[in-house]
Amino acid sequence: MPKYLTQASEIVNAINHLSSYPVLWLDTEIADWRTRKPRLSIIQISANLQDFSGINVYILDVLDKSDLIDYFIEQIMMNSDIEKVFHNASYDLRFLGGKPTKNITCTLKIAKNITREKLKVSDLKLKTLAAQLCNFSLVDDKGTSDWGKRPLTPEQLSYATMDVIYLAHVHDYLLNFGKIKMSRLLDAVIQFFQDENWSYQKSSDEDVLILSVQGDEEQWDCFAKTVEEQDYFIFYSVYPKPIPQQNTLSVAEFLMQINAVVNFGNFEMNEQLTKIYYKTSIKVTNYVLSQALIKNIVYMNIQVMDSFIKKIEEVSMGRKMTEVLQTKIVA
């Protein structure tokens, strides 16, 4: 869940905190946008490119709070030390300080300069770029819902959160577009892990890299695989513990329940029902396997495995699935 702030003191503290970041990805939602007097409803901000779930996103509820809007403009929008990234910036700037604002980046302009044809996308809308360039599964579109009504619904908050997540990764992709054009997909993957300072080993299969990941509570192995002839990049997390034979069917059923919740990748078991893998992948025919795409595949995979690894262990040790499902699931 994002940091949804409604109290003036919380919003001021968040603005002060965010003013220390060098880059912010921002979006706005507007109430009464079809009328002659539209009102700024919320400001969404992400400062963390590695956030895929929105847990670090700030949503500032500034509806009819002109003093807080003015403070945001003063501390963030007028601060030349902070790069502010928007998609279709000219629209958002109508509500956030206009032309006097400083250090503004517009991903729509960047995409137009590259051209839709070179990007090989159907259009230059943010969600199109997120889906077709960064392999995101999109949340339901709530952009035209009533942003003047309170309380905001969970669906509205999810939509607002994901917009800046999409924006951050689209921005990263566009900045790296054309920089990684390797003769083999594996070269791009190796370059990514080297840039991230990750230790890895090559397996006897030359197109597989083996890595180790430390989560919040457990450590597990991962492997990155490319299928060059089919233009696939695949990343697996391997559940680190054995599955007791008497509980394999319960675990398999639980994994089906998880797969219904996650919107990126899926859990699998081997034919013997002795091992569990979490798989994320992308087919990259006709476009570049960029740092942004690899990062999306890898970090989302790790976040999901880290979220569910303890719950899988509980079911594998015999705890009833209904009891495990009663605990909060974050995907």
Could you tell me the two tokens for 266?
């899926």
How is the chain split into domains, by residue range? 3-176, 185-326
Angle between helix 126-134 and 291-316 (nearest 10): 70
Whether the per-residue pLDDT at 179 is higher than 70: the answer is: no
Question: CATH class for domain 185-326?
Answer: alpha beta
- Average pLDDT of the residues in 25-39: 95
CA–CA gap between residue 105 and residue 274 (Å, rounded): 50
Residue 144: pLDDT band by 50, 70, 90 thresholds?
A: low
Could you tell me the two tokens for 290?
């960029």
Residue 286: pLDDT band by 50, 70, 90 thresholds?
A: low
135 in the Ramachandran plot: left (φ > 0), alpha (ψ -120 to 50) or beta? left
CA–CA gap between residue 304 and residue 91 (Å, rounded): 35
In a 3-state reduction of DSSP, which class is residue 87? coil
Whether the per-residue pLDDT at 330 is higher than 80: the answer is: no
Reported as a single tens digit per residue, the pLDDT across 230-256 is 889 999 999 999 999 999 999 999 999
pTM of the model: 0.64
The per-residue pLDDT for 269 is 95
Are the beta carbons of 220 and 240 closer than 8 angstroms? yes
Could you tell me the two tokens for 273?
């029902």
The per-residue pLDDT for 187 is 87
Whether domain 3-176 has CATH 3.30.420.10 = yes
Residue 49: pLDDT band by 50, 70, 90 thresholds?
A: confident
Q: Which helix (H) or strand (E) holds 211?
A: strand 208-214
